[in-house]
Amino acid sequence: MKFKFRLVFFHSEPGFFRIDKKSIGYNIASDISITIEPRDANTLIEAKQYHIESSGFNSEEEARKCGEKIRNHLRLLNCHFHLGLTIPFTDGFASKANAALKEEHRKNGVELIDTIIGLLVYPDEQKYVEFAVFSELDIFREDPYYLLKSIKEIWSNNYKFDDCTNEILEILNISVREKSPKLKFLTAYLAMEQIIKREMRTEYAQELIKDFIKMTNASEISNNEKKSLTNALSQLKRESFRSAFISFARRITFPTTILNMPVVKFAKECVKIRNKIAHNVSTDKLPELENYAKNLIKMSLGIIWSENNLPELSLYLPGHKLELKKLEFKFL
């Protein structure tokens, strides 16, 4: 039995491939030929979703190895050229065909594969067909004038910030426009790190750290190790950001809860999430990541408002409307 792979990836705007064809083939090595196909449109130039596939592999392991290699190369080039592609690192399925539909096709010798996320390896037989669902929703505010009304509402206020606060606001602006929940959270967390000041440790603790630094300098380890250790020890003269953040959270009297948990617990959870991301824990295992990010942004703005004695904002924000622009079922 032969095997093939299919690797799915996306772009936020149509036309990443400026090729007005239904698909293209390309030889990336003497023995590897790939096909790139549009998933949500008839031609590549119209599409925002694509997949790369290749067939004829002697084993499932061989097909997966090639698919993973293409994914890794694609991710590296995405960073190098700033392509703006989304290349899923985790694999699985999105929309699923119901059991009855699969069974009906199975009677006719067809095996339906659910809508793919990331990489999938499967037998290289004509009977395997992907059942893919594509939808496009337009989400917008009910009142198109709400932003202008908000400008008018706060026009009498003259907001002037120092350079540090302006830098924090720039970080928050980056955060709110991030589409990735992980990056939205990390930039919001970075803003909080800039806002909350870390206090110096007690004099006794600082003296201990100085003694450790002296011991390090007097040791027989290499100069590079000495420099690295003394720099790390010097950083300990101030409390950790975790301690500073939790101490700050304990002083907050309003609100008393964030995301239905005490403010202190929210701060602790944010630190845990940041550490999990730093240790490459899959974001699929991090619940409500975007909600954490939004509340960190809200907390950051609240601190800025409080520290600058700014008048409380009461702005008009209309509800959302949804408009289904596209709902399409395809067999790929």
Residue 49 binned pLDDT confidence (cut-offs 50, 70, 90): very high
Number of domains in the chain: 3
Within a domain: residue 111?
yes
pLDDT beyond 80 at 28: yes
Cα–Cα distance, 121 to 62 (Å, whole number): 10
For residue range 71-103, list pLDDT tens digits in order: 999 998 998 898 989 998 889 888 888 888 888
Amino acid present at 43: T
192 and 214 together in one domain: no
Cα–Cα distance, 299 to 264 (Å, whole number): 13
pLDDT beyond 70 at 217: yes
Within a domain: residue 192?
yes
For residue range 274-326, list pLDDT tens digits in order: 998 888 776 666 768 889 999 999 999 989 888 888 887 778 788 888 888 77
- Residue 122: give the domain boundaries: 3-137+326-331
Please tell me the least confidently modeled range out of 63-72, 142-151, 219-228, 308-317: 308-317
222 and 125 together in one domain: no
34 and 164 together in one domain: no
Within a domain: residue 318?
no
184 and 219 together in one domain: no
Contact 158, 91 (CB under 8 A): no
Within a domain: residue 153?
no
CB-based burial of residue 98 (10 Å sphere; 0-12 exposed, 13-18 middle, 19+ buried)? Answer: exposed
What was the pLDDT predicted at 235? Answer: 82
User: Before 123, cis peptide (omega within 30)?
Assistant: no
What was the pLDDT predicted at 331? Answer: 86
226 and 93 together in one domain: no
What was the pLDDT predicted at 161? Answer: 86
pLDDT beyond 90 at 178: no
Locate 26 and state its tokens.
Answer: 């390309």
pTM over cut 0.85: no
Amino acid present at 133: V
Contact 43, 21 (CB under 8 A): yes
